[in-house]
Structure 1
Amino acid sequence: MHLLGPGFDADALHALARRLKTAAEGGMPLEPELARQVQALHRALIQGDLQAVLERLREASDGGPVLLRFMLQDADLQGFPWEALCEPGRDFEFLGNSASLLPVRGVRSPEPWQPREVRGAVRLLAIAPLHPHSLSRLQGTLHESLASGEIEWLEPLTGPRSRKAALFERLRRQPEPHILHFIGHGGLHEGRPVLRLADEEDEESWVSVELLAQQLHGAWGQGPLRLIVLEACEGASPGALASAAELLARTAADAVVAYLWPVRMDVALRCSRAFYRALTRAAREEGDVALSLNEARRSVLAELEGSAEAFSPVLYLRGRDPVLFDFKARKVSPPPLAATTRTEVSPPPAALGRLLEQPFTLLLGNRWEEEAPDFRGLRERLQGELTQKELPVPYELPLSTLAQHFALRIGQEELDYEFQEVFGQAHFMPPLVRLLARRLGPGVHITLLRLPVLEQAIAEQHPRLTLYVIQPSSNADGHAVMMRREAGAVRWERLRQVPSGLEPERDVVVLRLCSGYLPAHLFSRPLLTEDDYLLGVRGLSSLLPFELVEPIQSALSLHPLLLVGMSMLDWSHRMLLYQLFGKRTLMRGSMAVLDPSGREQELWEEGRGLPGKTGVRACESTDEALEDWLEALAAEGRG
């Protein structure tokens, strides 16, 4: 038995855990008093006989890290963030990012443990029952590991494929994964851990973690599965029998990574990128899950300025050795399909290459919203409500026209409610936007999307640039909504007055012309109806605070535009272009990348409907082809 001393009884540990959770939820580093407490707990834990044992183990390890297994029976002790303990006298020598100690939660199990020999790519199967857009974001953040052949992305399970029967059927088929990554909701039902799967006939569907563990063991117990990652709200929250993570580690896999507290999507992606990169790196002879998670926490601490969010991911380990994969006989090469696809890519238009070689302004249209499942859901809700009230409207109306019918007949407040119901928890990130954001620099960029996609992509790709988001006022008072994310930070702050330090030559400014959701989930009424566009769209001089009109208009007149996701046949797009540029022609060198199905290239090149009636270069491209062009230009060192 190891006593922590009178200063750390159960109540004290509860209070300390609550303060650490609060800091993590706020994305904040440990304040001085909290830092002193975790240092004092570190001193109380690692002393006496335990300290002597650790010293002997360090000597025996010949300088390598020592595994520190917490074999905890008490549920409260299992749920405590031991990874946040900090060595006294050090500011960032936490257990969770230590190079010499690897903290894990040990799991007792009769199941055998052994590393899995992997001769090629580590196969990853992702499951996202209710968040399909999270899959594209995860796949995007693992791009380097996928392109190098270190990880193979198996066909993911989402929507109907992630219902209970379909999931259990997938467990009977090849290829078998080495890693299972679950993105979704977890909870407790009558004290027992459960995970939410895809709904069945509009009814919530939950699966017992104990049952899932048995199914996994029966299907892949003798196979390659070694690791499960639970990106779920309560994935590591102890329950009546055991936490979901402990149950899965006891029966289904050698190791489970889960989160003590809910984390933001961008934090989970940062952690996943660093974790999988460390675990599957081709240069290593073995995949050490504990060492990799410590490296991931270290990366989060460094990128997020010491945020306590780094202590949310924890590791449950079945055996005495954290090495899950044996890579000694491994040969890694890029996937053949990727190489074949690259050779078949036609050269990007020369005009696009020239545009990307210089500073440019991105004008991002909202074409993807009409194609996204969430917006189709909004259309169906509006159509269904009108039909139910015996106010039918023709199908296939433009969304602005359908929304106008709804607002006039049922009410604007109800329309706002429907929008928030559909998009309040939506995750929408077309892969193309992330690739475009990667090539953006300081200046003014414009988005017509009603979700904060562009600004989130820029923040992810350029963490060292200060980013301003400005949502012009829908009123004549010019009270624009402004937010800022400082360089190197992750938190967004609402600005109550025009910032004196805003410089488009140095900072990134994103104009959100159609309103909707800003970063930090701040809602304002979006432009949806025909009247919204008729009455709410005016020139920049009337939409922005007067202090910002000149610098933003000057920035827009300096650089050529890259227009993506726009349509000359969409009257709202034409209106917004005229409000931005008046009768001035677009900058020389501007270019529009168009959806091939619209057959609009001639309209853009002749300037019909454009400000100044002067055309711009245009090309037709699918999203996939444009993604390939951008990747090809990057490979050539251009853009």
Structure 2
Amino acid sequence: MPKDVKIDLILHRDASNCMVHSARTDFNVALAPSTTQIDVEQLANTRTRIEASLSGGEKLKPADLEAIGVLLSRVLFAGPVRQIYDAASHGSAVQLSLCITDPGLKSIPWEFLIWPDLKVAPHFARSICRLVTSTPSRPLQNLNLNGGIRIILVVSQPSDQPSVEWIETQNTMKTLIAATTPQLDAKAMEFMVCEASDSSRVREAVQAFDPHIVHFIGHGAPNALIFAKHGSQKSHPLSAAQVHNVLSSKSTRLVVLSACDTANVGSDIAPLIPIAERMVQAGVPAIVANQMPVSLRSIHSFCGALYGELLKSGNIDRAVNAGRIAMGVAFDNIGVAAVEWGVPVLYRRSGCGQLFTTRVKK
């Protein structure tokens, strides 16, 4: 894979309600031209159309999804910002990071953009994440995959919620870990499953195991995850602050939330800071969540590719991108757009793309 070039895009709205954004690399900076001609409502409508297609409404055709991606691309890579992108992407892989605080601009599904030079998305040499402003913290200490990592799978199934299929994801994770771990180093990667009865038991398990990666499978909402209520098997929503205390420990570098709407920011009328973003603000370096409802089939396809790349390169931006590509292939139906691939969202702190260093072969 070619060398990664990092581009930060800062998006906000000015006093006249126009979108203003700039691009920054290690070598250059650019300000986009006036955006008075951009209809933010039209951009927001792209989300409505995609959600409808995912939830049983009118199915988007490939041409429809491509038109949405081209529109998002035209807005992001306008004027001098496009010049920055073209210069950076020439012969290189691009890691695009979006810095957004405006709720309306956050709600736009930028992950569906079509890369302007390649005319396709997703693509193995392009990735996109959302940077989160958080309390300044020390850079991640070096953690080599050869030294081993700990992964915990947390499954939450309250009796009054639809059941979740998690065995396939567990088997995929076990297979990938076994394939990545040399026989002579069998304990290099430790894996455990925690079937949640209630949040207190999950917290005890997480704190005792102190995992580097936490993967949650269950039901969620933009501002909560669903666990069983203490002393009962009925559902009980936990707020973002509570979830952070339950699912993270001192060594946690990545949390994967295989639950619907955990990256949904709501609307201009009722803006939300999604649970994924709040967990990064609270200190978790990176969170992978879903900005819309997802199917079990998409979760399995995405997770297999995500862990396959992460356990090879240690880079979460590349890993999420690999998951998106796998979803696009799995849902490649004739005449119907493969929409699911743009649903996962990567939230992370600046400088935390490389969660682990590359494994050294013996």
Q: Which band: TM-score by shorter chain?
A: 0.7 to 0.9
Question: AA paired with 1:186?
Answer: G
SS at match of 1:279: helix
User: What is the aligned counterpart of 1:158 among 173, 176, 195?
Assistant: 195
Is 2:85 the partner of 1:54?
yes
Report if the CA contact (8 A) 1:254-1:317 is conserved: yes
Larger relative contact order (C-alpha < 8 A, sep ≥ 6)? 2
1:66 positional shift:
2.2
* Alpha-carbon distance change, 143 to 155 in structure 1, aligned in 2, over 3 angstroms: closer
Is 2:105 the partner of 1:84?
no
Question: AA paired with 1:18?
Answer: T
Structure-2 residue corresponding to 1:73: 101
* Alpha-carbon distance change, 48 to 171 in structure 1, aligned in 2, over 3 angstroms: same
1:109-508 equivalences under 5 Å are 109=134, 110-114=136-140, 115-130=142-157, 134-150=165-181, 152=189, 154-160=191-197, 163-174=198-209, 176-187=210-221, 193-200=223-230, 201-214=232-245, 219-220=249-250, 223=251, 225-238=252-265, 242-281=273-312, 286-305=313-332, 306-329=337-360
User: What is the aligned counterpart of 2:130 among 92, 105, 110?
Assistant: 105
SS at match of 2:100: coil
Structure 1 residues 25-67: Cα deviation after superposition (integer angstroms, max 9, x where no partner)? 45956442442242133123212121222234346xxx43222
* Alpha-carbon distance change, 265 to 241 in structure 1, aligned in 2, over 3 angstroms: closer
Structure-1 residue corresponding to 2:4: none
SS at match of 1:195: strand
* Alpha-carbon distance change, 31 to 69 in structure 1, aligned in 2, over 3 angstroms: same
Q: Distance in 1 between matches of 2:235 and 2:247?
A: 22
* Alpha-carbon distance change, 116 to 319 in structure 1, aligned in 2, over 3 angstroms: farther
Task: Report the structure, 1 or 2, having the larger helix content.
Answer: 1
Q: Distance in 2 between matches of 1:157 and 1:166?
A: 9
RMSD: 2.8
Structure 1 residues 405-460: Cα deviation after superposition (integer angstroms, max 9, x where no partner)? xxxxxxxxxxxxxxxxxxxxxxxxxxxxxxxxxxxxxxxxxxxxxxxxxxxxxxxx
Report if the CA contact (8 A) 2:294-2:343 is conserved: yes
Report if the CA contact (8 A) 1:78-1:105 is conserved: no
Deviation >6 Å, runs of 4+: none
1:122 positional shift:
3.6
* Alpha-carbon distance change, 308 to 249 in structure 1, aligned in 2, over 3 angstroms: same
Report if the CA contact (8 A) 1:129-1:159 is conserved: yes
Structure 1 residues 151-172: Cα deviation after superposition (integer angstroms, max 9, x where no partner)? 9463322142xx1221222233
Q: Distance in 1 between matches of 2:338 and 2:247?
A: 35
- Aligned residues with identical type, % of pairs: 24
* Alpha-carbon distance change, 234 to 327 in structure 1, aligned in 2, over 3 angstroms: same
Report if the CA contact (8 A) 1:121-1:149 is conserved: no
* Alpha-carbon distance change, 36 to 187 in structure 1, aligned in 2, over 3 angstroms: closer
Q: Over alpha carbons, which structure has the higher Rg? A: 1
Segments of 5+ residues of structure 2 without an aligned counterpart are 1-19, 22-32, 182-187
Report if the CA contact (8 A) 1:158-1:198 is conserved: no
Q: Normalized against structure 2, the TM-score is what?
A: 0.76
Is 2:70 the partner of 1:39?
yes
* Alpha-carbon distance change, 156 to 58 in structure 1, aligned in 2, over 3 angstroms: same
1:289 positional shift:
0.8
Q: Distance in 2 between matches of 1:251 and 1:72?
A: 18
Structure 1 residues 74-97: Cα deviation after superposition (integer angstroms, max 9, x where no partner)? 223223211111145866x12xx2
* Alpha-carbon distance change, 23 to 90 in structure 1, aligned in 2, over 3 angstroms: farther
Q: Distance in 1 between matches of 2:34 and 2:298?
A: 32
Question: AA paired with 1:36?
Answer: A
Q: Distance in 1 between matches of 2:326 and 2:155?
A: 25
* Alpha-carbon distance change, 33 to 309 in structure 1, aligned in 2, over 3 angstroms: closer
Q: Distance in 1 between matches of 2:180 and 2:126?
A: 30
SS at match of 1:116: coil
Q: Distance in 1 between matches of 2:234 and 2:329?
A: 42
SS at match of 1:142: helix
Segments of 5+ residues of structure 1 without an aligned counterpart are 332-639
Question: AA paired with 1:157?
Answer: C
User: What is the aligned counterpart of 2:54 among 15, 24, 41?
Assistant: 24
SS at match of 2:356: strand
Question: AA paired with 1:156?
Answer: V
